[in-house]
Amino acid sequence: MKLIRGFLSVVVFSSLVLAARSKNSDCLLLVANKGDHTLSIINPTNGAQLAVVAEDGVTGHEVVASPDGRLAFVPIFGNSGVGKPGTDGSLIRVIDLEKHAVVGTVDFSKGVRPHCAVIGPKNHLLYVTTELENSIAVIDPETFKHIGTIPTGQMESHMLAISSDGKTGYTANVGPGTVSVLDMEKKEVRKIIPICKTTQRIAISPDDKWVFTADQDKPMLAVIDTAKIEVAKWIKLPGIGYGTAVTPDGRWLVVAMSGVSQVGIVDLQTMKIAHVLDAPKTPQEVLIRPDGAFAYVSCSASGQVMAINLKTFTAEKPITAGKGADGLAWAASTK
């Protein structure tokens, strides 16, 4: 009887693993390649690059997928860094992930440097930071029309995170070193939080309790208490932090540290670094797979994506993307 039960347990476990693998194989990992001006479409199960789509613009830094996994939206920022001289992008490319082609464009009719794209968790509208406008653009993802604007009250609003109920937004404002707290429904600024001299990137915990942003002058990560709307803690890092993301269970925060080419994993129960892994050169952005099993970290200088097993905290074989690999997105399968 024990042998039969053991056999059945193995069969059930194997079936679950195969089902999970099958589900993930139907999904896509998207990578915005700044250097190539392309979008890589990758099978996350085996790391195979299925297609490379030209964005027909200079240059897309970020990407987000529609909830049905059918489309990708790539804001065309321009050929400079945030706050630096260069071209001012005015477009968002819409890419069909099955046809592997650009099928639409959002045109702002002027240079706004559109950057971070986020899908609203409840209304499924497309929100895009527009740095030169000190605002967030609201886009209808079905018609590709600009339907609203949310001011941030600060320059260089670079990255955006939205609470799980869709009511509150947070932008990392690079040059001012602040975070804007936004009422997404009223389309107004609730508060501006001073952080440091210069800040970068932003992430929110699944329970909406914490928001994280990285000091660009010191190896410190600010932890904002969203109830008090103020910085509550600072996490010491082995190097200056950049992109961050929290696991779905809220236990771990994965931090890219570009300058030292490492990735840190913070235990959010202790708010301290628990693991440090060497990464390909210049890790940038972090994406957590929806099931929490893997973290993906784009590594710009190497043109690769680091895959981290979050069960064993080990790095697997890097995934080849494109030159200047940066923005990451997960295109969920609806099959």
Residue of 30, 25, 27 whose CA lies nearest to 319:
30
Q: Over 80: is that where the pLDDT of 6 sits?
A: no
pLDDT of residue 56: 86
pLDDT of residue 142: 96
Average pLDDT over residues 292-312: 98
Tell me how far apart the alpha carbons of residues 119 and 126 are, in angstroms, rounded to a whole number: 5
Residue of 248, 266, 236 whose CA lies nearest to 205:
248
Average pLDDT over residues 24-38: 91
Q: Over 60: is that where the pLDDT of 136 sits?
A: yes
pLDDT of residue 280: 97
Q: Which residues of 262-293 are buried (b: 16+ CB within 10 A; e: fewer)?
A: bbbbbebeebebeebbebbebbbbbbbbeebe
Structure tokens at 310: 């979050």
Tell me how far apart the alpha carbons of residues 231 and 211 are, in angstroms, rounded to a whole number: 9
Q: Over 80: is that where the pLDDT of 5 sits?
A: no
Q: Over 70: is that where the pLDDT of 66 sits?
A: yes
Tell me how far apart the alpha carbons of residues 251 and 229 are, in angstroms, rounded to a whole number: 21
If 0-12 CB within 10 Å is exposed, 13-18 middle and 19+ buried, where does residue 190 land? middle
Average pLDDT over residues 322-328: 97
Q: Over 50: is that where the pLDDT of 121 sits?
A: yes
- Do 76 and 59 contact (CB within 8 A), yes or no? yes
Interstrand relation of 135-140 and 126-130 (parallel, antiparallel or unpaired):
antiparallel
pLDDT of residue 65: 98
Q: Over 60: is that where the pLDDT of 61 sits?
A: yes
What are the C-alpha distances in Å from 173 to residues 129, 187, 226, 227, 335?
A: 10, 17, 17, 20, 38
Convert the pLDDT of each residue in 122-134 to its tens digit: 999 999 999 999 9
Q: Over 70: is that where the pLDDT of 14 sits?
A: no
pLDDT of residue 335: 57
Convert the pLDDT of each residue in 251-285 to its tens digit: 999 999 999 999 999 999 999 999 999 999 999 99
Tell me how far apart the alpha carbons of residues 174 and 326 are, in angstroms, rounded to a whole number: 17
- Quickly count helices (H) and strands (E) in the chain: 1, 29
Query: Strands (DSSP E) along 49-167, which ranges?
Result: 49-54, 64-65, 71-76, 91-96, 101-107, 114-119, 126-130, 135-140, 145-151, 157-162
Average pLDDT over residues 58-82: 95
Of all residues in the chain, the percent with pLDDT exceeding 70 is 92
Q: Over 80: is that where the pLDDT of 16 sits?
A: no
88 C-beta neighbours (distance < 10 Å), count: 18
pLDDT of residue 25: 58
Give me the amino acid identity at 132: L
Find all residues with CB under 8 Å of 126, minimum gap 6, and list them. Answer: 64, 73, 117, 118, 119, 120, 138, 139, 140, 141
Structure tokens at 42: 């990758």
Could you give the domains of the chain?
A: 28-239+322-331 (2.130.10.10)
Q: Over 90: is that where the pLDDT of 10 sits?
A: no
pLDDT of residue 23: 54
What integer best gives the mean pLDDT of the chain? Answer: 93
SS3 141: coil
Q: Over 90: is that where the pLDDT of 214 sits?
A: yes
pLDDT of residue 11: 39
Position with higher pLDDT, 111 vs 17: 111
Q: Over 70: is that where the pLDDT of 184 sits?
A: yes
pLDDT of residue 24: 59
Q: How confident is the model at residue 201 (pLDDT cuts 50, 70, 90)?
A: very high
pLDDT of residue 20: 42
Q: Over 70: is that where the pLDDT of 224 sits?
A: yes
Tell me how far apart the alpha carbons of residues 176 and 134 are, in angstroms, rounded to a whole number: 12
SS3 323: coil
- Do 150 and 125 contact (CB within 8 A), yes or no? no
Q: How confident is the model at residue 289 (pLDDT cuts 50, 70, 90)?
A: very high
Question: Rounded to the nearest 5°, which phi and psi values hold at 229?
Answer: 55, 55
pLDDT of residue 12: 39
pLDDT of residue 7: 40
